[in-house]
Amino acid sequence: MAAVRTSSEVAFNRIAIAAVLIATLIFLAPIYWIASTAFKPKELAVSVPPTVLFEPEVTPFVRLFTKRVQMQKTVDPQAYEAAPWWEKRIYDGGERVLKVGKDVQLSQYPDRFMNSLIVAVISTVLAVGMGTFTAYGFSRFKIAGEADLLFFILSTRMLPPVVVAIPMFLMYRMVGLNDSHIGLIILYVAFNLSFSVWLMKGFMDEIPKEYEEAALVDGYTRMQAFFKIVLPEAATGIAATAVFCFITAWNEYAFALIMTNRRAQTAPPFIPSQIGSGLPDWTTIAAGTFLFLLPVAIFTFLLRNHLLRGVTFGAIRK
């Protein structure tokens, strides 16, 4: 690098920064769109041209979490006065909240969200765990037909998964795995495992085997060396792999739609099913989507340091 920056270098730098800013705006635009729609009054959601400035409200979230019905007549003023603020917002929209006795009936959204969380977390833990062990084996031991086995593992990703959806569905129904958490978890682990093995193998290969050898000589078994030395060293790789597996499982739509309908349904197929008939309630859908984005955003944010290093891993020799 030159000691003094020339004017052309400065100019190039500015252009590069501008390009990055523009790219960032393009990527953030849909997220802004969803986030702003989630806080818009119903009638502004579909206004043309789009409304940019509005008074934000949380009514879409109230609608998201409650069971409601359209009211045939106007609300009784006394009941309106007695209602809490969020219920008033529902009355304002010409609907009322369904109750059993005094208890508000919740919508299915929290359950579906929970299903997503259970399926994504467990399948991620399993896929990354199994992938880490498998990758370690491939990386450290001489295995007959290693290249063929690795190719076989990768080949499971060479087909669009949805191609096998119908046979999978039939098989799942036969063994009673349809509409169950465990069924979805098995599917997602199967999806993610090949990816996890390949990614983790790259990370494992980067960890010098002298670390384990030192531990072996120092009086540890291979298993102890794996847990005490290899795992901490592989943390970056595990974090990166986990984020990708989690995102895949969290966002999966096609199989979740086909394999589940009630008990184990995850959020992705549930949210669009709320469009319902008549005029779509875009603000409620946006609210559901917005909340749905948060776990991935939080997970990724927490692991961002590992992730950055993980994605560029191996590019630079330490």
Partner 1 sequence: MTQIELRGIEKFFGAVQVIHNLNLAIADNEFIVLLGQSGCGKTTTLRAIAGLETIDKGDVLIDGKAVQHLKAADRDIAMVFQSFSLYPHMTVFENVAFPLRATRMSSGEVDKSVREVARVLRITDLLDKRPSALSGGDMQRVAIGRALVRRPKAMLMDEPIGALDAKLREEMRAEIKRLHVKQGSTTIYVTHDQIEAMSLADRIVIMHEGFIQQVGTPDEVYSHPANLFVAQFVGSPVMNIAEASVADQAGAASVRVGDAPAGFEFPGQLLPKLNGHSNGGLTLGIRPEGVLVRHDAAPGYIPVEANIIEPLGSFDIVDLKVGSTMLRARTKAGYVSGPGEKVHVRIDPEQAHFFDTASGKSLGVRL
Q: Which of 210, 223, 278, 279 touches partner 1 (CB under 8 A)? A: 210
Q: CB of residue 160 vs partner 1: minimum separation in angstroms?
A: 40
Look at residues 154, 192, 186, 194 and name the one whose alpha carbon lies nearest to residue 168: 186
- Interaction of residue 144 with partner 1, rule CB under 8 A: no
Q: Which of 169, 220, 253, 313 touches partner 1 (CB under 8 A)? A: 220
Look at residues 159, 185, 207, 151 and name the one whose alpha carbon lies nearest to residue 259: 185
- Interaction of residue 221 with partner 1, rule CB under 8 A: yes
Cβ-based nearer residue to partner 1, 111 or 205: 205
Q: Which of 2, 69, 217, 279 touches partner 1 (CB under 8 A)? A: 217
- Interaction of residue 111 with partner 1, rule CB under 8 A: no
d(CA 40, CA 58): 8
Look at residues 98, 80, 101 and name the one whose alpha carbon lies nearest to residue 89: 80
Q: Which of 50, 94, 110, 232 touches partner 1 (CB under 8 A)? A: 232
d(CA 212, CA 234): 13
- Interaction of residue 211 with partner 1, rule CB under 8 A: yes
CA–CA distances in Å: residue 250 to residues 105, 123, 185, 245: 26, 10, 11, 8
d(CA 270, CA 74): 31
- Interaction of residue 91 with partner 1, rule CB under 8 A: no
- Structure token digits, residue 122: 């467990």
- Interaction of residue 238 with partner 1, rule CB under 8 A: no
Judge whether 90 and 97 are in contact, CB under 8 Å.
yes
Stretch that binds partner 1, among 86-94, 165-173, 212-220, 293-301 (CB under 8 A): 212-220
d(CA 308, CA 81): 54
- Interaction of residue 146 with partner 1, rule CB under 8 A: no
Q: CB of residue 239 vs partner 1: minimum separation in angstroms?
A: 14
Residue count, binding to partner 1 (CB under 8 A): 17
Binding site for partner 1 (CB under 8 A): 208, 210-211, 213-221, 224, 229, 232-233, 235
